[in-house]
Structure 1
Amino acid sequence: MAQPPHRPGQRDLTTGPIASALLAFALPTLGSNVLQSMNGSINAIWVGRFLGEGAIAATSNTNIIMFLMFGAVFGFGMAATILVGQSWGRRDVDSARRAFGSAIGLVIGTAIVVAALGWAFAPDILRALATPGDALPLAQTYLRVIFLGLPASMVLVLVFMGLRGTGDSLTPLWFMGLSVVLDAGLNPLLIAGLGPFPRMGIAGSATATLIANVVAVAAVAAYIHLRDLPLRLKGSELRYLLPERALVRTILAKGLPIGAQMIVISVAGLTMVGLVNRHGIETVAAYGITLQLWAYIQMPALAIGAAVSAMAAQNIGAARWDRVARITRAGLFYNVVMTGALVAAVLLFERPVFALFVGGHSPALPIARHISLIATWSFILFGATMVLFGVVRANGAVLGPLVILFVAMFPVRLGVALALKPLLGVDALWWSFPAGSAANLLLASLFYRYGGWRKGALYVPASPEPEQEAGTVLEPVGTLRPVR
């Protein structure tokens, strides 16, 4: 079978040792995730030090909202990543480009609509969250500017996901680094008006993020074109940016349930924020900085889950089902080792880390440490769930994880928070996190073992105008079936 040309950073994940390939693919993804989290934390430090605890509370409320908006378009990107990965595993480069182009077109259109609605309804959204009065004006200003940058940030994430589908986890790392350097560097300049820059307050932090994402999108697009990477679109291929009807149906059929999973998580998070907001600004600030810490702790799990999904998708596309179970076991092992080690380190050194955000004498500091002690360990369970979900999603099984997440987030997590509140007070909110994570893992394990996700295969519908390039192999992909 003809092999498409490989570029630096790309990996064929269908051959060779599994454990070492998984680790080599996951580490750059982990680096990207750590950089992204560092960016958020550095920005939170600038906001907290320049503008105070009210601004921290405002950004924590806004970040949860943006996660919800992100879920509205993230599913399209994940569906495209699965299609790209399976197409790449079959060495069908044209199908990978068609899926990627259609997803880009869908995401740009959706993000523009979401951004416009978010700008218009920002005050209503924040009031519905019971955002503290002191933080409301700041949160509204910050949220509206962040909404303006939503299209660029969504396209950047989608490009990174598509590249990982082809086995390239290094390119996203470099351009995530560019975005982080710009964002973190511009934050203090625009917040405080240093040098020739205007003093914009909390809007300056959001504007720095907007500028960084726009520059990074332009730079990575130019890089993909100049290096002729597999997902580059040029000449007649630019028509792929106008989504094909058949591809839209496929992406929507898989992407909407994945997006709904993000929305379930977001709504649960928003509900939790609403409950936390009723306990005063110190507790809100403590929860906000705890979320910053948790963003780091979940990074290994997310990186391993992404690597497992990319490896599984390529192997399913290549009909290498004998390797999929081994990929799952390797992912679970690495999650326990990496996430467990990070949880232990964080619990040992959490006081100086929390003090970076609010200072060593803030009343929010002991509250944040108490939250972390109760709930942080549950991210080991979260990581195992991400591995299992990553494998089943690689074959287009998205409804099972959606139902599992809904049950774990609402009847379990929020149910525990409300049921135990008369007995434990505010601690019931923190204990609900381990309860939800345990339920999530139990149900995900049962679905992985007994669910029907192995049947069938996801594929890119035939192009209405097939054009075969040199080095591209087009195969009857709809006939692939798993070997059990």
Structure 2
Amino acid sequence: MVNHEASAEFRKKLMHLMIPISLQQLMLALVNASDAFMLGFLSQDALSAVSLAGQIQFVYSLFLFAITAGVSIFAAQYWGIQDRDSVEKTLGIGLAASVLISLPFTIGASFFPEQLMRIFALDPVLIEDGAVYLRVVGISYFLLSISQIYLCILKNCGHAVESAVISSVSVVINIFLNAAFIFGIGFFPEMGIAGAALATVLSKVIELFWGLSVMLKKDYVKIRLRYAFVQDKTLRSDFWKYTLPILGDELVWGVGFTMYSVIMGHMGSDAAAANSIANIIKNLVICFCTGIATAGGIMVGGLLGQGELEKAKLYGKKITKASILAGAIAGGLILCIIPFVSHFSTLTETAQHYLRVMLVVCSYYVIGKSINMTVISGIFPSGGDSKFGFFCDSVTMWCVTVPIGLLTAFVLKLPVLAVYILINVDEIIKLPAVYRNYKKYRWVKNLTRQKAVS
């Protein structure tokens, strides 16, 4: 009976966190898919220019994710012992870092968009169109630096549903405004590419002010500016000790993942188009895996902060099993989609063939991705083991898959699908090392420096 009640408690906690977080991730994936779909109606140049301009936000998101991950580690543990003051100090440190990091991206996009676009494109049309987008969207990077940190705090402090609602409604507004401003629906002006950027900015304004209004509620964690300017030196030292390896991992992974796209892009337009659609489908179906990874980190972190180390180990085991199931379901969904790929009328027959095989590869890739994301990005950092991910991705991507991809594509000149299969084994070859590190239980640590608040 006790085990049954414990299992029921675990499932209830996991579902309470996982469902809203997964929905939030799904909505974010949908807005990216809708951007591509709508801009494709304008022109191929518009779609390509905004896609290239989006690389600026992709790079920025790597920094922002690392900061939110660091905030999540300490917010979860300190909230586990109801130490609200330390949570607010963590929030102040995170906000100071995220705002400072956002400034060069905001200034660069707003005032030097042409120079940034020349990093990614040589075509004058793509540079001009991308600059139009960046000039408008730049301010959204600053808005995100505040809203995403506070939404992260909400998720870790018992308000995951509220965080997901705010983020999801913002995405819905973004999609609606995309259509309205791009095509000039009703009384909205037709703005094309600039309209897509404006839609993003307005949705982020709403997201930020909604989040700040929620903060005013009684018993909610507050943004206290004094903690951003006058920081707790011990907590700040702890924060950066565990956050910098995550940032290193994000940069290693992000640049490596970009190299995959570069490799496929240089193998022809059919390969590039099929790879792009395969990534969109993969990102859509893996949302529930992301939800489990984030929820798992919060749950394990809270227990570790309370000093319940054995229970944290038990939860880690259960969450890992859940990630395997979620990955298998995601893989099955991808296989179910394959018969319908012929309905992508804009793809050539060759690209459709590529896409079908790529989706088969994705069906096993997402199983490994689900496990690794849950363990490396969720469970390990929740107890301070943030260096493993950096080491693991550095070796697998930069010593194995990226060199193999470059060698097979440009030296051996293997067929497109052979190259694709080889560069998508990184999540599988990580698994033995991830398992060994998991069983060492170096992640089972209480990082708080204070006793529980009675």
TM-aligned CA deviation for residue 393 of structure 1: 0.3
| Structure-2 residue corresponding to 1:37 | 29
Match among 444, 447, 452 for residue 458 of structure 1: 447
Listed as ranges, the matches of 1:328-339 within 5 Å are: 328-339=316-327
Counterpart in the other structure of 1:47:
39
* Residues 287, 360 of structure 1: alpha-carbon distance in 2 compared, 3 angstrom cutoff: closer
Deviation at 1:56, TM superposition (A): 3.2
Structure 1 range deviating more: 437-446 or 181-190:
437-446
Q: Which residue of 2 aligns with 1:437?
A: 427
Q: Offset at 1:168? A: 2.3
Residues 473 and 444 of structure 1, relative CA distance in 2, 3 Å threshold: closer
Instruction: Report matched runs for 1:372-383 at 5 Å.
Output: 372-383=359-370
Q: Compared with structure 1, are the counterparts of its residues 210 and 428 closer, same or farther at alpha carbon in structure 2 (3 Å cutoff)?
A: farther
Q: Which moved more, 1:59-68 or 1:168-177?
A: 59-68
Structure 1 vs Structure 2 CA RMSD: 2.8
* Bigger proportion of residues as helix: 2
Tell me which of 398, 408, 421 is aligned to 2:386: 398
SS in structure 2 opposite 1:396? Answer: coil
Q: Does residue 232 of structure 1 match 2:222?
A: yes
- Verify: 1:371 aligned to 2:358, yes or no: yes
AA matched with 1:386: M
TM-score (norm 1): 0.83
CA distance in 1, matches of 2:122, 2:418: 21
CA offsets 1:334-366 (integer angstroms, 9 cap, x no match): 22222322221222224647846x647687444
In structure 1, distance between residues paired with 2:105 and 2:52: 18
Give the one of 356, 363, 386 matched to 2:373.
386
**Is the alpha carbon distance of 1:360 and 1:272 closer, same or farther for their aligned partners in structure 2, counting shifts above 3 Å?**
closer
Q: What is residue 424 of structure 1 aligned with on the other side?
A: 414
Give the Cα–Cα distance (whole angstroms) in 1 for the partners of residues 314 and 347 of structure 2.
46
CA distance in 1, matches of 2:220, 2:7: 19
Equivalent pair of 1:290/1:372 in contact (CA under 8 Å): yes
Can you list the C-alpha shifts for 1:10-35, whole angstroms capped at 9, x where unaligned? xxxx9972233213321111111111
Structure 1 residues 74-100: Cα deviation after superposition (integer angstroms, max 9, x where no partner): 222211111111111112111111211
Change (3 A) 1:121 1:370: farther
Provide the identity percentage.
19
**Cα pair 1:19 1:327 within 8 Å, conserved:** no
Structure 1 unaligned residues grouped into runs of 5+: 1-13, 463-471, 476-484
Match of 1:465 in 2: none
Change over 3 Å in CA distance of 1:388–1:132 after alignment to 2? farther
Q: Is the CA contact (8 Å cut-off) linking 1:54 and 1:281 kept in structure 2?
A: no
What is the SS of the residue equivalent to 1:379?
A: helix
Q: Structure 2 length normalisation: TM-score? A: 0.89
| Distance in 2 of aligned mates of 1:348 and 1:221 | 42
Work out the CA distance in 1 between the residues paired with 2:437 and 2:119.
Answer: 35
Secondary structure of residue in 2 paired with 1:230 = coil
Alignment of 1:57-206 (within 5 A): 57-119=48-110, 122-123=113-114, 125-129=116-120, 135-206=126-197
Q: Offset of 1:285 from its aligned partner?
A: 3.0
Alpha-carbon spacing, 1:359–1:277, altered in 2? closer, same or farther (3 Å):
closer
CA distance in 2, matches of 1:437, 1:178: 32
Give 2:278's match in structure 1, choosing from 290, 294, 299.
290
Report deviation, 1:275. 2.0
* Structure 2 residue aligned with 1:469: none
What is the Cα deviation at residue 258 of structure 1?
1.2
Compared CA separation, residues 283 and 203, structure 1 to 2 (3 A): farther
Question: 1:375-412 deviations in whole A, cap 9, x for unaligned?
Answer: 34211101111121211100122111111111122112
Partners in 1 of 2:342 and 2:214 — Cα distance? Answer: 38
Helix, strand or coil at the partner of 2:425: helix
Q: Name the counterpart of 2:3.
A: none
Aligned partners of 1:64 and 1:377: how far apart in 2? 27
1:439-484 deviations in Å (ceiling 9; x for gaps): 2222222222236333x53236x8xxxxxxxxx9659xxxxxxxxx
CA deviations on 1:170-216 (whole Å, 9 max, x unpaired) are 01111112211210001111112233323221221122111101111
Q: Any conservation in 2 of the 1:102–1:248 contact (CA below 8 Å)?
A: yes
Cα distance per residue 1:101-132 (max 9 Å; x no partner): 22122212221223223556654554444677
CA distance in 2, matches of 1:439, 1:122: 39
SS at match of 2:430: helix
CA distance 1:337–1:111, shift in 2 (3 Å):
same
- Tell whether the 8 Å contact from 1:395 to 1:457 is kept in structure 2 after alignment: yes
Residues 221, 289 of structure 1: alpha-carbon distance in 2 compared, 3 angstrom cutoff:
same
Write out per-residue CA displacement over residues 238-278 of structure 1, whole angstroms, 9 at most, x where no aligned residue.
42232505143332222222122111121012222222232
